[in-house]
Amino acid sequence: MSKRFRTGTATTLTVLMLGTILALLLAAPAGAEVTRGTCVGTADFPSKTSDKTLDAERPRSDVFLVPKQETVAYVGALAPDAQPFDSPVAFEGGLTLQLPRTSWQVVSWGGESTQVMADGTYTYDIPSWVPAGTGEFQLTGTHRQGDIDCEVVVTVQLDGEPGPAALIAAAGTVVFGAGVLAAGSKKGVAS
């Protein structure tokens, strides 16, 4: 195998690796969107000093910064003018966070009700090992009740500085890249 071939292969692999990392970092779309149904709703984040309310109709260009811990006050309805059902109707829904290679069901709900709106609070605390400020993620909320099916997609980013976890990941990327380059270099073998 020629030195030129090995060097070209190492360079190609490095470019592909860096391109893949860049694509993963830039893959999430921005903003919010009701993608199915007529649901309306808001979530208030009281600990934030500004931009405290996340609305289902938030413009697509806005990314919502989510605190690492919060008690969120929410209110939602199947439609702005929805009327209660005459008898209990089964419902189910949940929030799913789309990560680069998988998804995570954050919370789910279900039961039967005549009501077409809900309000309350939800408390969360994101583990300290999750790096903040490192990228945008899609959060999808779904709710089905009877023949009504709604979906809202929001782009969120964890508020804060990246911290040590992101630095370790960046260092790992550099070491891996150096390994790929070294694999393509001549090892002192006589030709």
d(CA 185, CA 181): 7
Token pair for 160: 């804060």
Q: What's the whole-number mean pLDDT along residues 36-51? A: 88
What's the whole-number average pLDDT of the chain?
75
31-165 fold:
Coagulation Factor XIII; Chain A, domain 1 (2.70.50)
Question: What is the reported pLDDT for 187?
Answer: 61
Residue 5's pLDDT band (cuts 50, 70, 90): very low
Q: Where are the domains of the chain?
A: 1-30, 31-165
pLDDT over threshold 50, residue 6: no
Task: Dump pLDDT digits (tens) for 108-121.
Answer: 999 999 999 999 99
> What confidence tier does 159 reach under pLDDT thresholds 50, 70, 90?
confident
pLDDT of residue 24: 34
Q: What is the SS3 assignment for 26?
A: helix
Least confidently predicted of 48-57, 58-67, 112-121: 58-67
